[in-house]
């Protein structure tokens, strides 16, 4: 049997990307785009990352496992409050969604 690429685990004969690998893709993509992805560990219910982009753009990113992930009531309240305050809150489940988020951000940067 061939070895799986880094970050993949064999579960029920399917390769699954670990959440840590998805976060790494986000971190590296944000850094490459001139931003900073800060891990939020000290505030319960807050999104996993605060992403700071050039020109004063701030996004909140919640990383969730593709299957079986649920929001805690506190997370729902915090996300709702942040959106009411006018902040962008993104919930990303897969590496493809992270790459789509980064590509959309790159398109915005190309306008300036």
Q: Is residue 9 part of a domain?
A: no
Residue 8 lies in a domain: no
Structural domain boundaries enclosing 86: 18-110
1 assigned to some structural domain: no
The count of domains in the chain is 1
Tell me the per-residue pLDDT of 61-88, one tens digit each, with 9 for 90 and over.
999 887 777 889 999 999 999 999 999 9
Q: How far is residue 109 from each of residues 1, 57, 81, measured CA to CA in Å?
A: 43, 11, 27
Arithmetic mean of pLDDT, 8-26: 70
Q: pLDDT digits over 20-67, tens only?
A: 888 999 999 999 999 999 999 888 899 999 999 999 999 999 998 877
CATH assignment at residue 74: 3.40.1350.10
Using CA atoms, how far apart are residues 92 and 94, in angstroms rounded to an integer? Answer: 6
């Amino acid at each position: 049997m061939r070895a799986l690429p880094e970050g993949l685990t064999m579960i029920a004969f399917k390769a699954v990307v670990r959440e840590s690998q998805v976060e790494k893709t986000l971190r590296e993509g944000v850094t490459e785009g001139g931003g900073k992805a800060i891990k939020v560990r000290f505030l319960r219910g807050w999104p996993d990352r605060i992403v700071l982009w050039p020109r004063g753009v701030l996004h909140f990113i919640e990383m969730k496992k593709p299957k079986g992930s649920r929001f805690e009531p506190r997370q729902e309240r915090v996300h709702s409050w942040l959106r009411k305050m006018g902040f962008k809150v993104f919930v990303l489940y897969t590496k493809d969604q992270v790459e789509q988020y980064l590509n959309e951000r790159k398109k915005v940067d190309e306008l300036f």
